[in-house]
Amino acid sequence: MLIDFFYTLRAAKLPVSVKEYLTLLEALQAGVVGPRNPEACSLEDFYHLARCTLVKDEKHYDKFDRAFAAYFQGVEQLADFTRDIPAEWLRQALQRLLSEEQKAAAPRYDYDQLFEELRKRLEEQKERHAGGNKWIGTGGTSPFGHGGYNPQGIRIGGQGGNRSAVKVWEQRLYRDYDDTQELGTRNIKMALRRLRRFAREGSALELDLPDTIRATAANAGCLDIKMVPERHNHVKVLLLMDVGGTMDEHIQRVEELFSAARAEFKHLVFYYFHNCVYDYVWKNNRRRYAEKIPTWDVIRTYNKDYKLILVGDATMSPYEILQPGGSVEYNNEEPGAEWLQRLTHAYPHHVWINPEPQGVWEYRQSIGIIRQLVGGRMYPLTLKGLEEAMRLLSK
Q: What is the pLDDT of residue 74?
A: 52
pLDDT at position 183: 40
181-202 confidence digits (pLDDT tens): 444 445 676 677 666 654 445 5
**pLDDT interval class at 66 (50, 70, 90):** confident
pLDDT in tens, 353-363: 999 988 899 88
pLDDT classification of 96: cutoffs 50, 70, 90: low
232 neighbors 201 (Cβ within 8 angstroms): yes
Mean pLDDT over all residues of the chain? 80
- CA-based angle 174:175:176, to the nearest 5? 130
pLDDT tier at 343 (50, 70, 90 boundaries)? very high
Element (H, E) at 214: helix 209-218
Cα distances (angstroms) measured from residue 231 to each of 165, 306, 307, 377: 49, 19, 20, 30
User: pLDDT: is 299 or 125 the higher one?
Assistant: 299
The predicted-structure confidence for 12-62, as pLDDT tens digits, reads as follows 888 888 888 888 888 888 888 876 666 666 778 888 888 988 988 888 888
Percent of the chain predicted with pLDDT > 90: 24
Amino acid in position 38: P
Q: What share of the chain is helix, strand, coil (3-state, %, to 5)?
A: 40, 15, 45
CB-based contact 147:158 (threshold 8 Å): yes
Q: Give residue-wise pLDDT tens across range 117-174.
A: 778 777 777 777 776 767 777 777 777 777 777 777 777 766 666 666 777 766 666 6
| Neighbour tally for 284: CB within 10 Å | 12
For residue 390, the SS3 value is: helix
pLDDT on residue 1: 59
Burial of 376 (0-12, 13-18, 19+ CB in 10 A): exposed
Q: Residue 243 — very low, low, confident or very high, per pLDDT cuts 50/70/90?
A: very high
- If you average pLDDT over residues 58-73, what whole number do you get? 82
Cα–Cα distance, 253 to 261 (Å, whole number): 12
pTM, 2 dp: 0.58
